[in-house]
Amino acid sequence: MVPGVGRHRTVHTCKTCGSSAPRWTGRCATCGEWNSLVEEEAPGLADAAGSNRRSGERLRPDVGPLLLADVDPDASIPFSTGLGEVDRVLAGGLVPGSVTLIGGEPGIGKSTLVLQALSAIAAAGRTVLLVAAEESAEQVRRRAARLGALDGQCYVVGTTELPAALEAVARVKPHVVVVDSIQTVADPLLASPAGSTSQVRECAGALADLAKASGISVVLVGHVTKDGSLAGPRTLEHLVDTVLTFEGDRHHTLRLLAATKHRFGPTGEIGLFEMTEEGLTGLDDPSRLLLADRAAPAPGTVIVPVAEGRRPLLVEMQALTTAAHGGAPRRVVEGVSAARASLMLAVVERCLGMPTGVVDVFVSTVGGIRVTEPATDLGLALCIVSALGGRPVPADTVVFGELGLTGELRHTPRAERRLAEAHRLGFRRAIVPKGTPRGPADLEVHPVEGLVEAATMVDLVGSVLESSRKALAAGSSCFSGKEPRSRLASA
Ligand code: TYD
Ligand code: MG
Residue range 382-425, pLDDT digits in tens: 999 999 989 999 999 999 999 999 999 998 999 999 999 999 99
Q: For the range 87-93, what are the long-range contacts, defined as Cβ-Cβ under 8 Å and sequence gap of 24 or more?
A: 88/269, 88/271, 88/309, 88/311, 89/244, 89/257, 89/258, 89/259, 89/269, 89/270, 89/271, 90/242, 90/244, 90/259, 90/262, 90/264, 90/265, 91/262, 91/264, 91/265, 91/266, 91/269, 92/264, 92/265
Q: To test the ligand 1 pocket, which listed residue (108, 112, 115, 140) has its Cβ within 8 A of the most ligand atoms?
A: 112
The pLDDT score that the predictor gives to residue 50 is 38
Please report which confidence band the pLDDT of residue 463 belongs to, taking 50, 70 and 90 as the band edges.
very low
Minimum-distance ligand 1 atom for the alpha carbon of 143: 24
**From the CB of 107, is ligand 1 less than 6 Å away?**
yes
Average pLDDT over residues 244-272: 87
Per-residue pLDDT, averaged over 61-75, amounts to 78
The lowest-confidence range among 208-217, 438-447, 469-478 is 469-478
Which amino acid is residue 415, in one-letter code?
A
**What pLDDT score was predicted for residue 92?**
93
Instruction: Take atom 2 of ligand 1 and give the residue whose Cα is closest.
Output: 109
**What is the 134 CA–ligand 2 centroid distance (Å)?**
7
Q: Give the residue, 252 or 207, on which the prediction is more confident.
A: 207
Closest CA to 196 of 207, 180, 185: 185
CB 112 less than 6 A from any atom of ligand 1:
yes
pLDDT over 60 (residue 48):
no
Assess whether pLDDT exceeds 70 at residue 161: yes
Q: For residue 116, how far is its CA from the centre of ligand 2 (angstroms)?
A: 13
Distance 220 CA to ligand 2 centre (A): 11
**The pLDDT value given to residue 383:** 95
Mean of all residue pLDDT scores within the chain = 84
366 CA → ligand 2 middle, Å: 26
pLDDT at 61: 54
Residue ID of nearest Cα to ligand 1 atom 1: 109
Does residue 104 line the site of ligand 1, with CB under 6 A? Answer: yes
pTM of the model: 0.77
Please report which confidence band the pLDDT of residue 338 belongs to, taking 50, 70 and 90 as the band edges. very high
Phi, psi for residue 440 in degrees, rounded to 5: -55, 150
Asked whether 109 lines ligand 1 (CB < 6 A), one says yes
Mean pLDDT value of segment 199-205: 91
Q: Which ligand is nearest to the CA of 114?
A: 1
The C-alpha atoms of residue 373 and residue 417 are separated, in whole angstroms, by 15
Q: State mean pLDDT over 201-223.
A: 93
Mean pLDDT of 275-291: 88
pLDDT at residue number 112: 96
Structure confidence at residue 10 as a pLDDT band (50, 70, 90): confident
Question: Does the bond joining 214 to the residue before it have cis omega, within 30 degrees of 0?
Answer: no
Asked if the model's pLDDT at residue 53 lies above 80, the reply is no
| pLDDT higher than 90, residue 121 | yes
Q: Which helix (H) or strand (E) holds 156?
A: strand 154-158
Q: Percentage of the chain with pLDDT > 70?
A: 85
194 vs 172: which has the higher pLDDT: 172
Given a cut of 60, whether residue 109 has pLDDT beyond it is yes
- pLDDT of res. 362: 96
| Atom of ligand 1 minimally distant from the CA of 108 | 7
Checking if the pLDDT of 232 tops 60, the result is: no
pLDDT at 55 over 70: no
Q: Which helix (H) or strand (E) holds 239?
A: helix 235-239
- What pairing do the DSSP bridges indicate for beta strands 444-448 and 429-433? parallel
**Rounded mean pLDDT of 334-355?**
93
pLDDT at 115: 96
CA of 226 to the centre of ligand 1 (A): 18
> With a 6 A CB cut-off, is 279 part of the ligand 1 pocket?
yes
Beta 217-223 vs 176-180: how paired, if at all? Answer: parallel
Q: pLDDT at position 45, please?
A: 43
Number of helical (H) and strand (E) elements in the chain, helices listed first: 13, 21
pLDDT of residue 63: 65
Query: What single string gives the DSSP state of each residue in 178-196?
Result: EEE-TTT-B-TTSSSPTTS
Confidence band for 65, pLDDT divided at 50, 70 and 90:
confident
Confidence of residue 57 (pLDDT cuts 50, 70, 90): very low
